[in-house]
Structure formats: structure tokens, C-alpha cells
Amino acid sequence: MVTRTDEEQVEALTRWWRENGRSVIGALILAVAGVLGYQQWQSYQTSQAELASALYQQFNAAETTEAAAETFATLQADHDSSPYAVLAAMSLAQRQVEDGALERAAELLRWAAEEADDAALERLATLRLARVLWAAGDHQQATEALGEPPEGGYVSEYYELRGDILAAQSQHADAADAYRMAIEEASALGPQRRQLLQMKLDSAGGAAPKS
């Protein structure tokens, strides 16, 4: 037997559904659409990463600088936020250095440093940029690109390059200080690297740091 209380509850539920049913359905539709949209976005991101990876493999397989540059242009245009584009830019810059195109190499490394999301990759690109500018004889820009000592990796390499730039400007005392720091900051110097740094320090007229 249906009581008055039951009838009132049914009536209240019916009234509530009549007043709120559309918004509930709308919320459900939006929730389902949100889930589907997120899944589609994830699928798109995955497909883009796969395309970028394939282009990077094609880039590495390029036998000439021209072919590599063409593939990199596609990577840069279509996948500029991908780490593959940054890695390709740094690799192409090395090819350009070997071909004597230092200005183009500097452009690529500057772009790589600006676009790199990874801090270590950014530091490496910055160091290479400063070294290319130093090799081109632009000591002022090389110093500006080098900036302040980095936190984390490549600290020894930073001071070595700083010493190279200073030595090229005949600032031998400051260069010697930088080479000492390069030796001190190296956590595990191999014999060849230690010998190279010591030769640079000797050339700058400095004594090796105390161990």
C-alpha cells in the first residue's frame, strides 16, 4: 500500500527532476565529453611524439648536412616543443661547425638553448653556443652567452671555457684562475682531461690547485 509519505516523496522527486533533470543530463554529457576529449588529446600527443621520433631517426640517418637541415626544418616547424627538435638542432649545429658555418651553428644553438625544457640540456646548448662564438672570435658575445656559473652539471666545462675566452684576450691571470676552478670542480677527471686542463693552466702561467 502506498502511503501519503511515499506519494509525497515520489511527487517531490518528480518535481526535482522536472526542475533539475536537464542540468543533470547536461553535466553528464559534459563529463563524458571531457573524458573523451582528454583521451583524444592523449592520443594526439602520443601520435605527435611518434612522428617527432620518426623524423629524428630520419635526421640521424641523413648523410649530408643539407639533408639533415631539411629534416630539421620539418621538425622545427611541426614539433618545435619536442625534445627531439632540440637534440636535432644541437646535432645539426655540430655539422655546421665541421663545415665552417659558425654563424648558422650559433643560431641553432641559441634556438636550442631557448627551447630546451630540460635544465641540463639547456646548459649544454648554452656552453656549445659560447664555444662557437669564442671560436668565431666574438669574445664579448661568447662571454655574454656563457653567463654565470651554472648550478648542477657542466661546472668544470664552464670554467674551462671561461678560461679559454679569457686566455684568447690575453687575460692570463684570470684565465689561470678559471682553469684552476675547472680542475677543482671536476668530480672525476680522467687522465686525458686532467692533462689538458693542466696544459692550459701552465700556458696561462698558473700553478695547479692544491689537492
* Amino acid (1-letter code) at residue 108: L
Q: By the 8 A CB rule, do 167 and 204 touch?
A: yes
- DSSP conformational letter for 86: H
How far CA 62 is from CA of 81, 89, 100, 189, in Å, comes to 22, 14, 19, 34
Least confident residue range of 1-5, 93-97, 127-131, 175-179: 1-5
Query: Grid coordinates in use for 178?
Result: 678559471
Q: For the whole model, what pTM was predicted?
A: 0.74
Q: Which long-range contacts (CB under 8 A, 24 or more apart) does 62-66 make?
A: 65/92, 65/95, 65/96, 65/99
Domain boundaries, the chain: 49-118
pLDDT digits (tens, 9 = 90+) for 120-169: 999 999 999 999 999 999 999 999 999 999 887 899 999 999 999 999 99
